[in-house]
Structure 1
Amino acid sequence: MRSVRKWLTSLGLSEYADRFAEHRIDFSILQNLTDKDLKEELGIVPLGDRRKLLRAIAKLAGAASATRRPAPGSKSSPRDEAERRQVTVMFADLVGSTALSTRIDPEDLREVISAYQKCVAETVPHFGGFVARYVGDGVLVYFGYPHAHEDDAERAVRAGLELITVVAGLKMRAPQQVRVGIATGVVVVGHLIPSGESEERGMVGETPNLAARLQSIAEPNTVVIAESTRRLLGSFFQLDDLGMRNLKGIAGPVQAWAVLQASSVASRFEALHASGLTALVGREEELELLRRCFFRATEGEGQVILLSGEAGIGKSRLTSAFVRLLAGEPHIRLRYSCSPQHTDSALYPIIGQIERAAGLAREDTSRAKLEKLDGLLKQTSTSATDAALFAEMLSLPNDRRYPAVELTPRQRRQRTLQAIVLQVETLARSCPVLMVFEDAHWSDPTSLELLGRVVDRIRTRSVLLVVTFRTEFKPGWIGKPHVTSLSLNRLAPREVGAIIDHIVGSNPLTASMRQDIIERTDGIPLFVEEMTKAVLEAASESEAQRAAALVPSPALAVPASLHASLMARLDRLGPAKELAQIGAAIGRGFSHFLLSAVVRKPEAELQSALDRLISAGLLLRREGTPYATYCFKHVLVRDAAYSTLLREPRRALHARIAETLESHFAEISEKQPELIAHHYREAGDVAKAVGYLSAAGDRALSHSALKEAHEHITQALQLISALPDDDIRRHGELKLQTALARTLQEQKGYGDRQVGEAYTKAREFSKRVADAGMHLAALYGLWAYHYLSGQPAAMLEQANEFLALAEREDEAGPIMVGYRLVGTSRLINGYIADASDALHQALVRYDPDAHGAASPAGRSLRARFGHDVGVTMHSYRSWALWLSGQPADAEKAAEIELERGQALEHDDQSRLYALWHAGMTYVLLRNEDKVAEIGSQLTELADDRQLPYWQALGNFLCGWRAARGGQAGDAVRLLDEGLRLWAQTGSRIFRPIFLAFLAEAYAADDKPDLAHRTFEEALRTTNETGERWAEPEIHRLFGDFLTRRGSGDAAIASYEQAITVARGQGSRSFELRATTSLARVLSDQDRHTEAHDRLLNIYRSFDAGCDAADLADAKALLDEPPSAS
């Protein structure tokens, strides 16, 4: 091997050879040197020289790893574990070697193949490739493993083109040719054999096979690529569409492309956005700053903008928008683009700019190129000596048109830099100059030195220099008077949404998917763009295509266009990468204590790895007591790290995390059981995952977090089906199904069809389980569904069955609830007297201390049967009391109900229940002020919780109050909206009385036809559903309407029907109200005696001294003297 001294000389750094010798540094030590070693130990101060050395050292290490062949039976150290990742694979094959073997001596063939393999070994590492395996005259190369680069696909294609050129130049007896196939995809790669002789880094997946098959269809000296690779190339290359090809061993036809040559592009950004730019969002202030600096420069005050930001933040997009903004302004634009593949190529961005400005083409002859260069340089009156230096810089031969330049290498370098700066100054004398130097973090040291000179020289020139770079690059020009630093921040969610909408256009995108993109892209415009495009593409793919691509879902996948750049960040971590994977399995954020407990490494080693992650910009640390917490800076970085884990190691890791949370974090087990469930689910422990999800659902339900409860319970039900069909599973299914039904009823309302289906399924499950408690819960749910969906007969049947089962089991609490259900059911069916008896039986069994919300029994009953039992009991008891002719007692019961409801601060459903039923009691009592107060409270709480069921009921109370207050238009609007919401919940209970209220409002709003039709609908609905309790009132209200319309006889018939029905039900208050209305009409017809006698008869049946509104109206009518006819 050559000496270190010769190596340094080849780099142009021979002045450091003695220092390396003094410190006894040979090639075995080189790859361990750090920047700190070079600066502090070896005294190499210039930053450019240190960077050049470090890059050259990295290339030496890469070449060594690419060509290393372990001896049989030897073990490589450290061993690379297999992992899942996106890789670009190149398969190159020497053309005609099989035929050649029949014509030449084996030793000669060996020389040919050896020369070919040497070409590969020397060419591929230069582009960051890894030579994985030689297969006869073929070679398999990985780009993206073991170290990823953000441009792996581009590197692979450039390597393939270069390999063709190099092999063609081999000095052999006959010219040699190569075929190259390239494909990109997700694979499992690394040491795939757990033990034994093989240490080869193998690969499993379709991608290497696809690359080999594409190679087989390539013409000699041609690179053929797959569509998966083409998508990542932008416009870096000119391609020929080979169409869809059927390839052996590959399912279905494959799109193939032949690479003709590299394209001449002004910048990487333009090449990667050849199909068009997304909208520039949220950069108005930055664009204005750039504009102001340009106009200052036009006045002779040279300006420098240092535009920085993390990868993908939009530096190039902003620069592109700025260039377009200045399109109408007179200026000269010079654009320089650095490349990650040319960080050691002196003046690479300057050479590229000059070649584009001169219009040099690959096919041009040297003479033609020199002519074009002369044409460009004449514009600035460049001297012949400087022109010779420019030609030399562009590697063009001097055909004696320029004088010979006799300078030492150092003088030549200095004179060249001066000539370039002079070009800029000369241009600026005639017209303002805009210089854009992109991606300075990839610049070669010589270009950086040139840039420093330009910064100093343009201060009094009409030049604006915009330098873009990533945050890890530290320019040395900050602080100069004419230098402005501009750092781009992440976009706000609203701005991210605007970019998504621009990309999506008219394509469908669900709200949840849109929110997922916003959350996962962290305000990085490039992430937003690529993630949105990937989601749209995935939505257009079939399930088979997604399965073939190994992508679980479009929401979970890291876009292929971002995968390489994200993996490149992780691969630079070294041993700390394992910690990133463990952290990724925990989640986006985690505490130091949890990580330490899971990792089980010495604290010093753990802290060192964390510091590495933080310094690399992948983790953020927030100090806290007693432990710090960490968070991945980007969700997609976390996703990329997690995606590399194979299934079994991933499951084992999740199991370790779950066990750690269980044993060390009791608070998480109690407050975040869904987190432990997640880790057990990913670990494949279904039983434990189901248990924790069930606990999470119960906890969410108890806190009225209905959406979360639904999600947890649904996941648990999906998982539990994978368990053996035994008693444990059946009991779990019943519990979960009942919990799901409860969640749905509180989300959608008891009357929704899904609620009925869920409870029906729960009842079926209950028949397979010997658990009376669960059976009762299912029966209660079915009862509630029949109640709300307007099926009173079925409701009463379920109530009787519930009570019978509770009595058989002799459980006091359920027996009390059973009597409440029977009483409520009888009331809705119109059996008022029977209802009162049953509700009384429930009341005498109710003990506030034993069954209240604060007691364990009370909480248990609430959890099993939906609401606080005290609230529900007093609710229907207040109605029954009023209906049976005890208005004063009804009001007291309503007051108790309200007090109980207000005391339940954390039980929204019971509070809402109390407000609605008490409000309806006050409607019956005709207490308008109380109805207004309660209706407002109900509406506010329902709106805040976004519960349409309760919102509808709030509308009914407020609508009734508006009608009573003479606000007929508002009443119509509120009642109509209430009925619409009510129907959306699937509820039909109370619909008859609500329709009667709406009909009243229509009549008051001078819409008699609508009123008449709505009254008829109310009566028709009563007959259809069998809900009879309000039937007397509907007949009475219809009679009042007919009276106002002058249809006295028809009105009397309605009143008589109301009285008959009320009397049959035992509904004395409705009978009193209907008789009062009848008496008024009879009096108007001069039937005073009949009116007085009938009203007095019912009036006297009520307690004396009661000041209820209906009794007051009746008494006033009785006290009226007969009018003179």
Structure 2
Amino acid sequence: MSDDIRQWLADLGLERYADVFVENEVDQASLPYISDDDLKEMGVALGARRRLLGLARSQNDATSPENNGMEDGQERRSTVAERRQLTVMFCDLVGSTALSRQLDPEDLRDVMRRYQDAVAGAVSRYGGHVAKYLGDGVLAYFGWPQAYEDQAERSVRAGLDAIAAVAAVRLADNVALAARVGIATGQVVVGDLVGESGRDTEAVTGETPNLAARLQGVAEPGQVVISETTLHLVRQAFAVDDLGRHEMKGFDDTVQAWTITGEVTAESRFDAARGAVLTDIVGREAELQMLFERWLSVEAGDGQVVLLSGEAGIGKSRLLQDLRDRVSEHVHVRVRYQCSPYHTNSALHPTIQHWARAAGFTPDDDGAGKLDKLEALLAETTDDFKGDAPLFANLLSLPFQERHGGLTQSPQEIKERLLNAQVSHVLNLAKLSPVLFLFEDVHWIDPTSLELLKLIIERLRNARVLLVITHRPDWQPNFADSDHMTTLELRRLGKAQGAEIVRAIVGDKISDDVVNRIVERTDGVPLYIEELTRAVLGANEMDATNGTSGPINIPESLQDSLMERLDQLGDAKEVAQVGSAIGREFSYQMTAAVIPQSEQFLQESLLKLAESGVVFERGVGREARYVFRHALVQEAAHGSMLISRRRSLHLAIAQALVSLFPDMETLQPELLARHYDLAEHYDEAIKYFELAGRKASAASANAEAIAHFQYAIDRLPDLSVADDNTRQKIEFGLRAALGVPLIALKGYASKDVEDNYLRAQSVAGDEIKTETYFAVLRGLWNCYFDRGDIPRGHELSAALLSLAQELDNDLLLSFSYRAVGSVHMMSGNITQADITLESGFAARQRWQGDVNPQAYSEDPGLACAYYLGCTRTAKGQVDAGLGYADTALTSAREMGRPIGIAFAEAMRAIALAWLNEYEELQSSTSALEAYCTEHQLVFWTAWARFMRGWSMVHLSAADKGIVLMREGMAQWLATGAALHIPTQEAMIMEACLTAGRNGEAAQAGENALRACGLNGENLFLSEILRLQGVSAHRAGDADGAMIHFQSAIDEAAKNGAGLFELRAMMSLVDVLQERNQHKQAAEGLARCLAKVDRDSNAAFIVAARKLYAAMNDGQAG
């Protein structure tokens, strides 16, 4: 704008005043507010003053629409002078002086009209009033002549629309116009009369219009800049950036400015209230009584679970505090797990914090001392001290190997033992005394802690435990309904109850009017009521002589209330800000390491924070720890800092953590990552997020691992290195590691898995001849293979084999043969599949090392064994096939990785289904479905459900079984998988035939054949042909049935599938016997039986032998 005013003055021949205008921040937009005295003070000569004032007035008239949009003769608005809150918008056209030089006056007039129409249209759309046209500026009011409860929000929306509408205005050369907007809110006096055109600048008095014009001067083209008061009214609707404080003409103090960056799509989250005022409970008597009744049931021996939900600040913690008070009169033990928003991906964080507190760890304790305390605690409550001590010591990262030896089990087995040990600990406590177990803020729970919580709920039914789980309404528990579980929702309080809370805090120190205003503002949320009341009380505006209050500025929102309280801390506010950056709970030691002031200053400030009720103090002196009384207080303190201050503070915290706690990189890399991330030191953040991801992945904490890896990937664009190759190399490693937990959680064939591996492949660079690239390529193969894309499976398995041979690595060869053999099997080529898988199994046996679980989701030797269990069974080598399946399952269980166990069980289930072992199949798949659900293995959960349904069809529950089969297949497809769809459709066809649902059977058969032809998945083609024959036979078409049966026999024989050949032959026997072709039937059956282990005790083989024996007996008779 300084160039614009200089040019304007130069055009008038008054360029000698340009410097003084710029120095005093006078521009064209502010000219209507400049008086003769102002110009005199600036040293402008009398003649020039008169000329400037006259030109300003004439320019307003020349460029404003006639009568401000009012028709001739329209009635003038006349009002009594009144005081009201008004939001004023000032819109300025950018570069108008340059336009005046470039355009013909008529063209300029047309452009100005289009600009003004665009702004006026936006204003009117939102109920605003265009008050004045000031050359290239437009002044608009929101709240006069018509007030709206959301008038500030309307003004911002109008400003954004105005900028967009002006940008759509194009000049002849297609150059777009640009505008900028300033908005301010405040108390004004509206004058007695608004003239015919509404252009009386004295109609509104007060600083608000001038502030809006000055804020417009701060704005960049295309920006809406608002005052702080306006921000208070619109912060829930719009996102803003802090522009800092600015000196402005006419204002003694600097003025804070904010720019609108977009709309807020959801309300901010605030933590539940902690440690509320110790007044009598208000409005929660019924809920408290219900909780206490559940406690009495617990004392009688019946375990109880209460799900306590409510919005932030509604009083969940206050209610629990009263419950604790009532229970304190009874013999009991209290256990408290607190979830944290900073640790939603830190496995078992609430457990770790609980045990550290319960054992009484202090900063002075060394590892051995902490282990002593832990063992003393465990000795009181464990049934297996020798087994549990190393588990809990490992959880707490204590040195235990010298006393207890190492943990040799797999990470998954260790996790399962640890979860069970924690449940046993609680149940053992309950044997000693009733337990009040508080599991708070589970909307921030980490996935592994959620597993623990589910276990506790399942097993406390007959224990003396009252488990109260608090959460916010947007977190939906997925616990199974049970008669020992109760849900309790806390709702907002009524006005009378809100007033009772206010009076409990302040007594008679404020008037009923102020109480009512507090209640109206706080909308029945206890935390809001409490905090706003304390802000009013702390304002020191109470009149002690009459027990009433003078004028009190009630903050516009709770956030303002909290900030006002923080400001009252004076210099101690800085300590509160530092503490807020450290976390909800912060120690003296950490604060002292970060804050630069003296120890005396720190001690005095912390004392002031405690005395003011901002924090609770636990411990004394250097051992003290401090907890923000409300998470909202912490958030307000953190949010009050400039972004640059936050960055430097989080950097100092991260560096202090590394310095003070050398093991932090190993124990909690995610905490370091979070602080470095907030410090915008992305190199370090990426490093620690990767470490955290690998740590979680190794522990089968798949959800946490995915989150950590994804955080690291998301920050790669901010990496300091300018070299794209380096950045891509880091991303390649991250995505290779991300693939394994993604597969476990979302399924092999999911879109997320595909996208991740494709991206890894695209950034591989010179890594394409490495083992890591092999793992990526294998992940892609697995994805497409499980989608049933057999041609692409062939292509990628060949590429894997080629790379493995080039790298001359037996482990990779085993993986490759597993891939090639699997594709052969699903293509229906059982003979070649069996040979290739045997090679893969042998290659794995040659490899002496382990398989990195962070690079691969399976052991290739076991995978080959899984598939050999199927190929040998399909060939008819039934006992050998089941032997492979059983051995592989045993080995998978020993390794302890859930995905491996599920895979082994699922492949074994296939062999059981082929052999008609329905009862064992039902038992194993029921267990498998529960196991996969527990471990969030969606892929195998779907398979287990399908196979369980299949077993039920053949165990006299056909209709219910078919429902489960269809559900399982739908879930299978939802993971992106399409492999085994011909098999599943064929099995549904047989199920429908068994249930007499022939129409559905025919449709399933068509689907099965179509799926086979789609991608060449022919494993079950002979069975599909056999079932087509069964269907034809039932329809009376014996000739057609025989054709289908023979085709099935030929298909099976061609592929070396002796078992399938026998199945087809047994169906053909039915038709041959009907035609009295007994000899042909017996010879055919004998020929097929010779191809299988006819001495096997598998149900199907036994049935075949019996049929053959019966046929021979019949012929002999």
Partner of 1:609: 605
User: Cα offset for 1:527?
Assistant: 9.4
Counterpart of 1:640 in structure 2: which amino acid?
A
Q: Which of residues 817, 820, 824 in structure 2 aligns to 1:819? A: 817
| Secondary structure class of the residue paired with 2:872 | helix
Q: Tell me the TM-score normalized by structure 1.
A: 0.53
Q: Which of residues 759, 762, 774 in structure 1 aligns to 2:760? A: 762
Q: Which of residues 197, 202, 205 in structure 2 aligns to 1:222? A: 205
- Alpha-carbon contact 1:312-1:527 (below 8 Å) kept: no
User: Cα offset for 1:524?
Assistant: 4.8
User: Cα offset for 1:1047?
Assistant: 2.4
- Alpha-carbon contact 1:222-1:258 (below 8 Å) kept: no
CA distance in 2, matches of 1:591, 1:1073: 73
Q: Which of residues 991, 996, 1003 in structure 2 aligns to 1:1006? A: 996
CA distance in 2, matches of 1:713, 1:217: 62
Q: Which moved more, 1:615-624 or 1:758-767?
A: 615-624
- Alpha-carbon contact 2:1025-2:1048 (below 8 Å) kept: yes
User: Are residue 654 (structure 1) and residue 645 (structure 2) matched?
Assistant: no
Deviations 1:356-380 (A, max 9, x none): xxxxxxxxxxxxxxxxxxxxxxxxx
Aligned pairs (5 A) from 1:146-295? 219=202, 222-223=205-206, 225=208, 286=282
Deviations 1:121-154 (A, max 9, x none): xxxxxxxxxxxxxxxxxxxxxxxxxxxxxxxxxx
User: Are residue 563 (structure 1) and residue 559 (structure 2) matched?
Assistant: yes
Partner of 1:1068: 1058
Q: Which of residues 877, 880, 891 in structure 2 aligns to 1:889? A: 880
Question: Cα gap change, 1:894/1:258 in structure 2, threshold over 3 Å: closer, same or farther?
Answer: closer
Question: Cα gap change, 1:527/1:698 in structure 2, threshold over 3 Å: closer, same or farther?
Answer: farther
| Secondary structure class of the residue paired with 2:641 | coil
Question: Cα gap change, 1:994/1:624 in structure 2, threshold over 3 Å: closer, same or farther?
Answer: farther
Partner of 1:981: 971
Counterpart of 1:1035 in structure 2: which amino acid?
L
Counterpart of 2:637 in structure 1: which amino acid?
A
Counterpart of 2:205 in structure 1: which amino acid?
T
| Secondary structure class of the residue paired with 1:219 | coil
User: Cα offset for 1:949?
Assistant: 1.9
- Alpha-carbon contact 1:828-1:1029 (below 8 Å) kept: yes
Partner of 1:1030: 1020
Aligned pairs (5 A) from 1:742-761? 742-761=740-759
| Secondary structure class of the residue paired with 1:865 | coil
Q: Which moved more, 1:939-948 or 1:562-571?
A: 939-948
Question: Cα gap change, 1:798/1:591 in structure 2, threshold over 3 Å: closer, same or farther?
Answer: farther
| Secondary structure class of the residue paired with 1:721 | helix
CA distance in 2, matches of 1:1021, 1:726: 43
Q: Which of residues 670, 675, 678 in structure 2 aligns to 1:679? A: 675
CA distance in 1, matches of 2:497, 2:655: 60
- Alpha-carbon contact 1:870-1:900 (below 8 Å) kept: no
Partner of 2:502: 469
| Secondary structure class of the residue paired with 1:1120 | helix
Question: Cα gap change, 1:589/1:771 in structure 2, threshold over 3 Å: closer, same or farther?
Answer: farther
Partner of 2:833: 835
Question: Cα gap change, 1:628/1:973 in structure 2, threshold over 3 Å: closer, same or farther?
Answer: farther
Partner of 2:865: 874
CA distance in 1, matches of 2:39, 2:983: 95
CA distance in 2, matches of 1:876, 1:912: 14
- Alpha-carbon contact 1:213-1:248 (below 8 Å) kept: no
User: Cα offset for 1:850?
Assistant: 4.2
Deviations 1:628-656 (A, max 9, x none): 54332222222221223233332222222
Q: Which of residues 822, 845, 863 in structure 1 aligns to 2:854? A: 863
Q: Which moved more, 1:1079-1088 or 1:782-791?
A: 1079-1088
Deviations 1:432-453 (A, max 9, x none): xxxxxxxxxxxxxxxxxxxxxx
- Alpha-carbon contact 1:226-1:257 (below 8 Å) kept: no
- Alpha-carbon contact 2:875-2:1092 (below 8 Å) kept: no
Question: Cα gap change, 1:1024/1:699 in structure 2, threshold over 3 Å: closer, same or farther?
Answer: same
CA distance in 2, matches of 1:740, 1:213: 59
Q: Tell me the TM-score normalized by structure 2.
A: 0.53
Question: Cα gap change, 1:1029/1:258 in structure 2, threshold over 3 Å: closer, same or farther?
Answer: closer
- Alpha-carbon contact 2:870-2:881 (below 8 Å) kept: yes
Q: Which of residues 569, 579, 584 in structure 2 aligns to 1:573? A: 569
CA distance in 1, matches of 2:993, 2:185: 77
Deviations 1:886-923 (A, max 9, x none): 11011112212222333344x22222212211222221
- Alpha-carbon contact 1:522-1:635 (below 8 Å) kept: no
Q: Which of residues 590, 594, 598 in structure 1 aligns to 2:590? A: 594
Q: Which of residues 827, 842, 845 in structure 2 aligns to 1:844? A: 842
Question: Cα gap change, 1:937/1:228 in structure 2, threshold over 3 Å: closer, same or farther?
Answer: farther
CA distance in 2, matches of 1:969, 1:1021: 24
- Alpha-carbon contact 1:245-1:253 (below 8 Å) kept: no
User: Cα offset for 1:597?
Assistant: 3.1
Question: Cα gap change, 1:467/1:684 in structure 2, threshold over 3 Å: closer, same or farther?
Answer: closer
| Secondary structure class of the residue paired with 2:854 | helix
CA distance in 2, matches of 1:895, 1:630: 56
User: Cα offset for 1:603?
Assistant: 5.4
Counterpart of 1:98 in structure 2: which amino acid?
D
Q: Which of residues 731, 734, 738 in structure 2 aligns to 1:733? A: 731
CA distance in 2, matches of 1:1023, 1:765: 35
Can you give the 5+ residue segments of structure 2 that lack an aligned partner in the other structure? 1-30, 47-150, 157-179, 191-198, 231-272, 287-311, 316-495, 516-520, 533-554
Question: Cα gap change, 1:800/1:655 in structure 2, threshold over 3 Å: closer, same or farther?
Answer: same
Aligned pairs (5 A) from 1:347-366? none
Partner of 1:634: 630
- Alpha-carbon contact 1:1035-1:1058 (below 8 Å) kept: yes
User: Cα offset for 1:1006?
Assistant: 2.7
| Secondary structure class of the residue paired with 1:926 | coil
Deviations 1:1053-1086 (A, max 9, x none): 2211111111111111111221222123212211
Can you give the 5+ residue segments of structure 1 that lack an aligned partner in the other structure? 1-90, 107-181, 187-204, 230-243, 260-280, 291-310, 315-462, 478-486, 488-498, 504-520, 529-558, 852-856
Question: Cα gap change, 1:802/1:767 in structure 2, threshold over 3 Å: closer, same or farther?
Answer: farther
CA distance in 2, matches of 1:603, 1:1054: 91
Structure with greater Cα Rg: 1
Q: RMSD between aligned alpha carbons?
A: 4.9
Question: Cα gap change, 1:471/1:619 in structure 2, threshold over 3 Å: closer, same or farther?
Answer: farther
User: Cα offset for 1:1027?
Assistant: 0.9
Counterpart of 2:645 in structure 1: which amino acid?
P
Counterpart of 1:791 in structure 2: which amino acid?
D
CA distance in 1, matches of 2:871, 2:620: 59
Identity of paired residues, percent?
27
CA distance in 1, matches of 2:600, 2:1018: 77
User: Cα offset for 1:470?
Assistant: 7.2
User: Cα offset for 1:284?
Assistant: 14
| Secondary structure class of the residue paired with 2:206 | strand
Counterpart of 1:1060 in structure 2: which amino acid?
D
CA distance in 2, matches of 1:935, 1:843: 26
Counterpart of 1:660 in structure 2: which amino acid?
A
- Alpha-carbon contact 1:766-1:778 (below 8 Å) kept: no
Q: Which moved more, 1:995-1004 or 1:218-227?
A: 218-227
CA distance in 1, matches of 2:873, 2:207: 87
Aligned length: 667
CA distance in 1, matches of 2:804, 2:1039: 51
Aligned pairs (5 A) from 1:879-958? 879-905=870-896, 907-958=897-948
Question: Cα gap change, 1:1105/1:257 in structure 2, threshold over 3 Å: closer, same or farther?
Answer: closer
CA distance in 1, matches of 2:43, 2:1104: 124
Question: Cα gap change, 1:1044/1:468 in structure 2, threshold over 3 Å: closer, same or farther?
Answer: closer
CA distance in 1, matches of 2:996, 2:945: 21
User: Are residue 797 (structure 1) and residue 780 (structure 2) matched?
Assistant: no
- Alpha-carbon contact 1:816-1:846 (below 8 Å) kept: yes
CA distance in 2, matches of 1:966, 1:707: 40
- Alpha-carbon contact 2:814-2:861 (below 8 Å) kept: no
- Alpha-carbon contact 2:218-2:225 (below 8 Å) kept: no
User: Cα offset for 1:953?
Assistant: 0.7
User: Cα offset for 1:1108?
Assistant: 2.7
